Amino acid sequence: MNSLNNIRLQKFIAMSGYCSRRKAEVLINEGKVKVNGIKVTEQGMKVSTEDRVMVNGIIITVEEKKVYYILNKPRGVVSSANDDKERESVVDLVPNDIRVFPVGRLDRETTGALILTNDGDFAYYMTHPKFDLSKIYRVSVQGRLSYEVTNSLKEGVSIEGVDYKGVEISRVKYDVTKDKTQFSITLHEGKNRQIRKIFAHFGLPVLKLHRYQIGYLNINDLKIGQYRELKPFEVKKLLLTAKGEI
């Protein structure tokens, strides 16, 4: 997945450092450029780092830039780089000149913070169970969240043979007229549909689920569907947090 994607050939050549973009256009016109062994003489062809590009018989390559986006994922969008049902994906919501993939997953009906990158090492530190990177969600459930359930969740529970680590619950607000409870929950692991499963187990179906923070990083500045590129210091701080070094 880690590759530049849909880059115009002349830009690709310029990015390799072989020559300027204008000179690359001249070389294409002169028939001195081949892509996957086929001579190219028309401008505008798009290539990726998976293609074999030669200029004057020399293979050229582009060192890929690492990119990191934080997205406020909308409801109804899948957290997958490739969806066999051709549904809208989170990768459709960020620039496509560099192929990226989501770091972890949010189910289709869950909204909120999701990181997308082309850096496999970074994704490893963000998602591997041995690294402790907290994720904070705002949850709305049908019913009243009792002290007994809260206490059980803090201790950790086992559901259908799957063990779930203890969680932190705060900012609890119960609406007696609607029989709904809102609260924040902090997870230190990321098992499949974890929040929905544990509250369904206690007879508290999840109505809304929104992740608003990953590690120290929140998405208060992003509206639903918006994204921004992470700054280098933010990437470094996330890595240090995951490694337990800060």
What structural domains does the chain harbor? Answer: 7-60 (3.10.290.10), 68-130+221-242 (3.30.70.580), 135-214 (3.30.70.1560)
Taking all residues of the chain, what is their mean pLDDT, rounded to a whole number?
93
CB 102, CB 80: distance < 8 Å:
yes
Q: Would the pLDDT of 190 be above 90?
A: no
User: Which of 69-83, 91-105, 210-224 has the largest mean confidence?
Assistant: 210-224
**Close Cβ partners of 21 (under 8 Å, ≥ 6 residues apart):** 10, 11, 13, 14
Q: Which residues are catalytic?
A: 107
CB atoms within 10 A of CB 111: 22
Looking at residue 213, its pLDDT comes to 98
CB 19, CB 62: distance < 8 Å:
no
DSSP 89: B
DSSP 127: H
Averaged pLDDT for residues 190-207: 96
Question: Quick one: angle between helices 232-242 and 120-127, nearest 10?
Answer: 40
Looking at residue 1, its pLDDT comes to 40
**Close Cβ partners of 210 (under 8 Å, ≥ 6 residues apart):** 110, 111, 112, 137, 138, 139
**Close Cβ partners of 77 (under 8 Å, ≥ 6 residues apart):** 87, 88, 89, 90, 92, 93, 108
